[in-house]
Amino acid sequence: MRILLVRHGETDWNRSGRFQGQEDIHLNQRGLAQSRETAKAVAALKPTALYSSPLQRTMEVADEISRLLGLPVIKHEGFKELALGDLEGITGEEMRTRWPEVYDTWRNDPAKVVMPHGESLAQLQKRAWQAILELEKSHSQGEILAVVSHNFAIRAIIGKLLGVPLANFHRMSLDLASICAMEFDQRGRRLLYYNCIGHLSSQSIEPHH
């Protein structure tokens, strides 16, 4: 079995450096263009089932994949982004000013942070990995599953797969509209590829500062 993990495209909050968490933000025009390119790349891999976080920015990508393949989109709460609580919608600078202790711990040992009125990375990883195990149980060998999700959620899943401690969470970077793939078979679970953006046109690739 192969599981494709697809990150959604750009939103205005991504663009302005705001933490989105579980706020239900739509893709912007660039994000919609990215979703069309990503959907074509996913469709070419011929998934047999399609899952998505229920948030709008992931559903817009999943709907595009669904349109190309005729597959129904199955919403799964387990693939939602980290709940940031009081930090939803703020920038990193605002976090540093208003929640300096949370900011310092997030930078230095993210495993120890519980977002104010939100989740910890451990809670996110537990529910997202549980969702992966549910898919593994309910689908057969040889199937290819597409899952549209979010930055922290995908990194938490892959960190669990690779045994990367959550303290090292920031050592992984994941681009908008990227595709990762895992393979599960009788020999175990493996990462096939990570952060693939070769399907994106030059205007769709996010700039790195």
The single-letter code of the amino acid at 149 is: S
> Tokens 């540093």 appear where?
96
Question: What's the per-residue H, E or C state across 15-38?
Answer: HCCECCCCCCCCECHHHHHHHHHH
Question: DSSP secondary-structure letter at 118?
Answer: S
- Contact of 145 with 5, CB cutoff 8 Å: no
Name the residue among 122, 124, 97, 126 with its Cα closest to residue 112: 122
> Tokens 């993990």 appear where?
5
Distance CA 42, CA 148 (A): 10
What positions carry a catalytic annotation? Answer: 8, 150
